Structure 1
């Protein structure tokens, strides 16, 4: 089985310490995927006009949130980096005339370590984090993912970490998903199943309830989807592995691209 690309919702930072259907799914997913040689994550929590890449040889967890229980700020995920992998990525970008800016000592943001803590709790697989750019068009974001598609043939797992429905201002104290949130997710899912890039690239105009699902202040949470899809452009298959909701409209989705 070729290592797939994934879109993984990272939800709330509290997901790091929760035991629920989604965290149990993530644990099971990590155990059943082919063990990767390295993990590359496009994180919603690193939005930059430059294409940045972390080049640390040893990672610390970045606690980039506030108002959570004290235990959350003591969690570490001491995964190693890998100079060979991040140099390969820089070369791949350069081949496509995309300049990558190396960044040291940033740490792994919670969009990275929260999901990996469940998928690979031993923190013994090299991790490289890449920024996203919410100012780029969906096609440009997709094309950047395409530049790295060859990594999958080298046993590198590529993840886009974000959230398809991510509007913190509309959260509710309910277990039932809001109808507008499911309508948006279902529309996105239909386009993914048919790899309808024309519709997806115009999601801002075509998708139902897009202003509620992807508010302007949270676009960076949606766009890792395009980076992950691009990484599977040479094998256009999409499979929904999980979908649930917290607080009515915080979607917890996982999509697998390029493998079945």
Structure 2
């Protein structure tokens, strides 16, 4: 059976130091629920580029792309290997679909990648290729880029979009705050479109979704769009299943959606 594609929320960087329901879910997902993949392709919200970029590294550095956090955060390292052959295969797929791309030889994994991968695969022994997203593209284009990679799932490659469906740092509540009703309504509306695989409505989310201006502010839509890349990678199956939904600070959503690769 093919590997699934996943959309995973990476939450706050401090998720890397926590033992809570979501981190326990991620550990169980990676170590018990999923078949061990031979490699991971990950689209990160923290790599937004107008040109599609692909890491081509033998060994990834750990990028601490945040400021003002506790010292323990900067001591965390996740030295996952790259996969040069897979990076080049991704490039060939992009080239055959007339998508310009660039190979990046020295970048490392940003926290959108290593926070969740460290929870899922703590030994850092599964090769990873990180890919950029482009927040200026249309949803249809973002979906189409994910679709270009769909065949790799048949080659035991797990494809992940890492971001956050509701991600508005200006509207965060206190730690431990109850979920904000507007955030839940937005997530549930998105979930309905995913369960129906209603691309026409989903691609128009910025006009139709309830509370979209609060959930996906114009300055932070790069956190929403990894969902579309992950969905595209399962276009041949068009099955969606919600595995997890919760919130940090009242409105920072922690979601996991699985696309395809299901019994």
Provide the residue aligned with 1:10 in structure 2.
10
2:26: which partner in 1? 26
Matches within 5 A, 1:78-157: 78-157=79-158
- State the partner residue of 1:193: 195
> How far apart, in 2, do the equivalents of 1:176 and 1:36 lie?
36
CA deviation map 1:68-126 (0-9, x unaligned): 11010011100000111001000000010012101121110000000000000000000
Q: Secondary structure at the match of 1:6?
A: strand
Distance in 2, Cα, partners of 1:207 & 1:73: 37
Aligned partners of 1:137 and 1:170: how far apart in 2? 26
Query: TM-score when scaled to structure 1?
Result: 0.99
- 2:103 and 2:86 map into 1 onto residues whose CA distance is 13
CA distance in 2, matches of 1:122, 1:146: 29
CA distance in 2, matches of 1:157, 1:100: 21
Separation (CA, whole Å) in 2 of partners of 1:2 and 1:85: 16
Residues 172-181 or 129-138, more deviating: 172-181
SS for the counterpart of 2:11 is coil
Moved over 2 A (4+): none
- Please point out which of 237, 240, 245 is paired with 1:238: 240
CA distance in 2, matches of 1:73, 1:153: 36
Q: Which residue of 2 aligns with 1:254?
A: 256
Partner of 2:41, secondary structure, is: strand
Distance in 1 between the 2:78 and 2:230 partners?
A: 23
Q: 1:133-173 deviations in whole A, cap 9, x for unaligned?
A: 00000000000000000000000000000000000000011
Q: How many residues align?
A: 260
CA offsets per residue over residues 154-213 of structure 1, 9 Å max, x none?
Answer: 000000000000000000114210000000000000000000000100000000000000
Structure 1 counterpart SS, 2:124: coil
Query: Equivalents in 2 of 1:166, 1:158: separation in Å?
Result: 22
Rounded to whole Å, the distance in 2 between the matches of 1:10 and 1:136 is 22
2:220 is matched with: 218
Q: What SS class does the counterpart of residue 47 from structure 2 fall into? A: strand
Shift of 1:259: 2.4
Q: TM-score with structure 2 length normalisation? A: 0.98
Other structure's SS at 2:245 match: strand
**Alpha-carbon distance between aligned partners in 2 of 1:259 and 1:123, rounded to the nearest angstrom:** 23
The DSSP-based 3-state class of the residue aligned with 1:134 is: coil
